[in-house]
Amino acid sequence: MPDRTPRLPLHGHIVPSSLQGRLTLVMVIGVLLTQLVGNFIWAAQRRAEARSEVGTAAQHVAHSASSAVRFFLSLPPNYRPLIIQQFREMGGTRFLVNINRAPVPVRSLAGQELTDAALKQLWATLKEDLPNTPNLRVAFAWPDRLAADNDGGTLADLPDSWTQHILLTKPAPVLLIQAELDPGHWLYLATLMPNPYFLETGNPLTRDRLLLQAMSLAAVLLVSILVVRWITRPLAALSDAATAFGKGENPPALPETGSREFVTTARAFEDMRKRIQRYMEDRERLFVSISHDLRTPIMRLKLRAELLDDDDMRSEFHDDLDELDMMVKGALQTVKDSDIHENATEVRLDALLGRMVRDAQLAGHEVSFKASGLTVTARPLALKRAIGNLLNNALYYGKKVELSVCEQGGNIEIVVRDHGPGVPEEALAGLGQPYVRLQHGRSRNSSGMGLGLSIARGIVQAHGGQLLLANAPDGGFQATIVLPGGVFHPE
């Protein structure tokens, strides 16, 4: 049999198939893009503001450091340790001050936008304020294991009263300025920027901001889902009504509530449904009337044909009238079999097919069927007529018939397979059309009209399914009824 697996488009794995899913996806993507663009603009503005703030702070610190350097340059060398000791006894100043024999090594904190901007501003201001002090060293470093003197002592080794303005509970970058006062005497100045955590101001994606944006995205997503469901709910009702009407049911009128577009669509659907219903009723009455009206003149013609003296002509008249009578009955049968007005119910396929198989076996036919335990929601009489037409065709043209039922991909498949000669491949496309009969069918069943497959296909399509006709792989012919939805396994 040909592969009947539905093929989904490539984008179906990414884009949801439902309108609700697509609208929600579009709204979420829109919110995400808005947040990304907003973050980009805000981050650019925040970086510019942070650079400006850091530049101003660095200039202020550089001026203070320049004043300290000039102050110590003005002191005699032997007074400098005394002044530093007074600073320490007073509880420290803005700068941690020390005099070293040589500059201490520093593992500088570089390669970051704000530190580089601050160092650039510090260098420019110090060079401007201290033109006669060529040997200057400026760097940012983390306080852990930062050397404070040439003997290997670190900031952490110093008394707390000396470093209370330098070492914080949460580590912050320390600005270290070293200036050569005279040979063998280097002034050591360590301090913090006015905003000790200035590096964090350059990061726009902070934890608090990410949490706020995640909460706003969740709120928008929740509102989007509720709004989209509110908008698409009437469409689901319209879809259910159209499906029920397509299966021959009589759904209740759609409520004229919701948006203006849906109300207009609901009214158009109701008008269309009423017109189609009137057309179907008129068609049935027309065919019944035509059949009734034609039987009388056909009967009169048959009686008049009996009055003909020529036997050959009388026989030809009878043949033509019999063919005309058969065509009228076939047209009426097509209308009646396609328009079976009954409600859908749960049909136990084992019981339905079992009775049909037993009737065929009593008539002397070889028919096999294996119980499946499946139940399907369908119109019982219409489904029985569709399966009966397929079974009758199989009994006419095949030596042995096999019926089977299985569940495939959420659908019910009812297969009627015979072991006859099959159908030429080039004739498969035309099967199922009204009054289409193949040559071997005419020779085996001269009384048929070629309506069985057409009626069966119409009934199956009215159930929302499809009828698949194909030659069996190992010989014979098989017809498969595929009925979607409403399938369950009874206990």
Q: Say if residues 45 and 181 touch (Cβ distance below 8 Å).
A: no
User: Which residues of the chain fall short of a pLDDT of 50?
Assistant: 1-12, 441-449, 487-491
Calpha distance 289→347 (Å, rounded): 34
Helix, strand or coil, per DSSP, at residue 90? coil
Calpha distance 29→23 (Å, rounded): 10
Of residues 356, 376, 342, 338, the one with CA closest to residue 457: 338
Instruction: Give residue 276's region: left, alpha or beta (phi > 0; psi -120 to 50).
Output: alpha
Q: How many CA atoms lie within 13 A of 401 on its CB side?
A: 25
- pLDDT of 439 reads 52
- pLDDT of 488 reads 39
- pLDDT of 485 reads 63
Q: Quick check: pTM over 0.85?
A: no
- pLDDT of 204 reads 61
- Domain 343-488, second-level architecture: 2-Layer Sandwich (3.30)
- pLDDT of 455 reads 80
- pLDDT of 271 reads 85
Residue 470: its H or E element: strand 466-471
Q: Say if residues 478 and 470 touch (Cβ distance below 8 Å).
A: yes
- pLDDT of 1 reads 42
CB within 8 A of 281, min separation 6: which ones?
Answer: none
- pLDDT of 63 reads 93
Parse the chain into domains and list their residue ranges: 34-202, 260-336, 343-488
Q: How far is CA 323 from its chain centroid?
A: 58
Calpha distance 437→227 (Å, rounded): 55
Q: Helix, strand, coil: what percent of the chain each, to 5?
A: 55, 15, 30
Helix, strand or coil, per DSSP, at residue 264? helix
Written out in words, the top-level CATH class of the domain with range 260-336 is mainly alpha
